[in-house]
Amino acid sequence: MADDFGKASSVPGHVPPELVVDVDFFDVPGVEDDPHAAWLKIRDGAPRVFYTPRNGGHWIVTRADDVEEVLKDYERFSSYASIPPGLVTEPYPNPPVGADPPEHGPYRQLLLPAFSPRAIADMESYIRSLTIELIEAFAGQGRCEFVDDFAQRMPIGVFLRFMGLPDSDRLRLLGYVNQRMRGEVEAERFAGHMALAAYAVEKVRERRRDPSDDLLGRIANGVIDGEPIQESKAVSMVVILLLAGLDTVVNTVSLIARLLATHPEHRRRLTHSPELIPQAVEELLRRFPVPNISRRVRNDIEFRDVRMRAGDGVLTIIPLTGLDETKYENPLEVDFDRELKPHVNFGMGVHRCVGSHLARLELRIFLEEWLKRIPDFELDPADPPAGVGGNVIGMGRLPLVWSVPGGAR
């Protein structure tokens, strides 16, 4: 483990020089202004499949069809040991995300009941009341820093309650996740991961001593193939859920808020026709995917006329899949009347995100309740927003302003 892990390493002999592009996905130029536009610029100037020597060296796949094939084909592109670029090693094996069938199945089954449509629907009342409470706390002020005041509170508050974790741990966990996902050097990212793992160990052991019916308790006391789940596997599952639950919806809802702040026509349409919101959620998910997902080549293969060797890492840039003009007409435009097609925001294949129903519900409720209370808002001209990159792209800051009755903006 070295602090200069992000520096360029030697290129393997099987990689042709014309396929080498120097890209550090933790430090993509222009990501502060617009994370998706920054990746589009890289895609348009690079081969269809290319190799970067950064972060230990790995392949990058950017086109929608290629990303979908990599994610669905676990026989060629394994999730096992698919350590994300920028993290040399994992402290624990990480099913279900880091396992292939058949090992993957029992761990996923352990999660599915909690994430079923019926179970998620039971949370709607709480999600709505929390959303209203948060919005009304600042609606009369005429301004907010959206990421801190809302995005890192609503979905994370919901997730912590869902897991059975105290809201008082929110800021500590956010710090660990940001360190793990966006630390400037590998040692910092590894330290963030270890801090999350240590937290998960503590909580898993608590639930084993004092069982409960929340998701954390179900994982800690789960049964896999007729045997109690190994502690290391339970810890890994909790870490994966923390990384997903504390980062993905936070960034998705922030990107959506930025779009609405700069497109009054979209705000007006959803405000006047709230019945469009469920379809709008799907279009917004297509336009603003956020995760970058890694895989490991299982055996020597040829993919899109490119030779890959067993053990090569492959990073799929899911944020570009909804912007692929071979799949969508005018993909940069948000069109709430667009014919719905499957998108890749929640992944593909056996590893498709179990939390998709929860994410959709949170986004729908956000749009419904925000636009009722703050239908007209814009970016703060005195305090520009800032995007972030890394394993999950999104917004680091999003200051918003609006007019309030009887007061100045």
Q: What is the mean pLDDT of residues 324-342?
A: 94
Check residue 3 and give its pLDDT.
Answer: 43
Closest to 81 in 3D by CA, of 241, 235, 297, 242? 297
> One-letter amino acid identity for 191?
A
Q: What is the mean pLDDT of the chain?
A: 93
pLDDT digits (tens, 9 = 90+) for 135-166: 999 999 999 999 999 999 999 999 999 999 99
pLDDT at 86 over 50: yes
How sure is the predictor about 340, in pLDDT bands with cuts at 50, 70 and 90?
A: confident
How sure is the predictor about 409, in pLDDT bands with cuts at 50, 70 and 90?
A: low
Q: What is the mean pLDDT of residues 381-397?
A: 96
pLDDT digits (tens, 9 = 90+) for 262-307: 999 999 999 999 999 999 999 999 999 999 999 999 999 999 999 9
Interhelix angle 248-262/264-272, rounded to 10 degrees, is 100
Sheet holding 378-379, edge to edge: 143-145, 399-401, 378-379
Check residue 82 and give its pLDDT.
Answer: 61
Task: Among 72-81, 147-156, 166-175, 399-408, name the one with the lowest average pLDDT.
Answer: 399-408
Q: Which residue has the higher pLDDT, 93 or 61?
A: 61
**Domains along the chain with CATH numbers:** 86-299+323-401 (1.10.630.10)
d(CA 355, CA 59): 27
Task: Among 70-74, 89-93, 344-348, name the one with the lowest average pLDDT.
Answer: 89-93
Check residue 184 and give its pLDDT.
Answer: 78
Cβ neighbours of residue 190 closer than 8 Å, sequence gap 6 or more = 1, 87, 88, 89
Listing DSSP states for 291-303 in one string gives BEEEEEE-S-EEE
At residue 307, what are phi and psi to the nearest 5 degrees?
-80, 125
For the chain, give the percent of residues with pLDDT over 90.
83
Strands 386-388 vs 394-397: parallel, antiparallel or unpaired: antiparallel
Closest to 109 in 3D by CA, of 94, 96, 123, 92? 96
d(CA 363, CA 197): 29
How sure is the predictor about 182, in pLDDT bands with cuts at 50, 70 and 90?
A: confident
d(CA 25, CA 32): 13
Where does 62-219 show beta strands of DSSP type E? Answer: 77-78, 143-145
